[in-house]
Amino acid sequence: MKRIITSLILLLTIINVKAQLTYVEVVTDDRGQASELVFGRKPEPTLYYTTLQFELNLPNGMSLVTDKVRLASHLTHHELLIDDLGEGRMLVIIYSPQNEPLMGELLHLPIKMTSSQSIKGLIKHTILGTFDGISLPTTDLSFIVKELIGDVNGDGDVNLVDVTMTVSHILGQTPEGFVEAAADIDGNNVVDIQDLVAIIDIVLKK
């Protein structure tokens, strides 16, 4: 009985630790716009994980560039499978035929933004597995991608139309559909000439 109780305590300890095993980060490009998600596993020595699966949920206004998804460079003995479940849901599986461990940065998921609003995505049903068949679920992860900087009309691109609309707004003739949050590049809650220059710079760098 004592051995059973000890085993249960150990199992509960593992389950408690597992809640923080994975992470997701939003990476931005040189214009400050979201370009990819980086998914990884935090260091945790309890078990030797060799497989991983999760469901990626992307909201309206965000899509996955599937042909550019890639494993981290150090995962030389792992395979990647992605299944489109529809409605912005993707099943992602990483496994190692050679039972190599999963650790650190694991996966790069390039995304395309077509929304000028801040939107929230979700990674759920994450399961880590060991070579001997032990599976442990982890907690869901959420991530927020901020508005498309400079895309003041919300068409998914930053161009001369956005420059023109920003000029009109500064002159006191705010056009219909103008997204002030996307025009406030420096985040000081005022759209002014500094923001206009920054938007022009975004356009010129394209």
pLDDT, mean of residues 100-104: 89
The helix (H) or strand (E) run that includes residue 202 is helix 193-204
The helix (H) or strand (E) run that includes residue 50 is strand 49-57
What does the alpha-carbon distance between residue 125 and residue 5 come to, in Å, rounded to a whole number?
29
pLDDT at 93: 95
Residue among 4, 40, 10 nearest 134 (CA): 10
Average per-residue pLDDT in the chain? 82
Chain segment 148-190, per-residue pLDDT in tens: 778 888 777 789 999 999 999 999 999 998 888 788 887 778 8
pLDDT at 85: 94
- Is the pLDDT at 204 greater than 60? The verdict is yes
**Is 20-145 in CATH node 1.10.357.10?**
no
pLDDT at 5: 36
Whole-structure pTM value: 0.66
pLDDT, mean of residues 129-149: 80
What does the alpha-carbon distance between residue 32 and residue 145 come to, in Å, rounded to a whole number?
11
Is residue 151 classed exposed, middle or buried when 0-12, 13-18 and 19+ CB atoms within 10 A define those classes? Answer: buried
- Is the pLDDT at 114 greater than 90? The verdict is no
pLDDT at 48: 82
- Domain spans, the chain: 20-145, 160-204
φ, ψ at 96 (rounded to 5°): -125, 115
What does the alpha-carbon distance between residue 41 and residue 52 come to, in Å, rounded to a whole number?
10
What does the alpha-carbon distance between residue 154 and residue 69 come to, in Å, rounded to a whole number?
26
pLDDT at 164: 94
Does residue 79 contact residue 69 with C-beta atoms inside 8 Å? Answer: no
pLDDT at 115: 66
What does the alpha-carbon distance between residue 200 and residue 67 come to, in Å, rounded to a whole number?
31
- Is the pLDDT at 197 greater than 70? The verdict is yes
Chain segment 31-87, per-residue pLDDT in tens: 666 789 999 988 766 668 899 999 999 988 888 998 999 999 999 999 999 999 999
pLDDT at 45: 63
Give the Å distances, CA to CA, from 49 to 10, 80, 152. 18, 15, 45
pLDDT at 32: 63
pLDDT at 162: 93
| Most confidently modeled range among 12-21, 35-44, 110-119 | 35-44
Percent of the chain with pLDDT over 90: 37
> How long is the chain?
206
Residue among 89, 13, 9, 97 nearest 54 (CA): 89
What does the alpha-carbon distance between residue 55 and residue 47 come to, in Å, rounded to a whole number?
22
What does the alpha-carbon distance between residue 33 and residue 126 come to, in Å, rounded to a whole number?
27
pLDDT at 15: 43
pLDDT at 3: 42
Does residue 92 contact residue 31 with C-beta atoms inside 8 Å? Answer: no
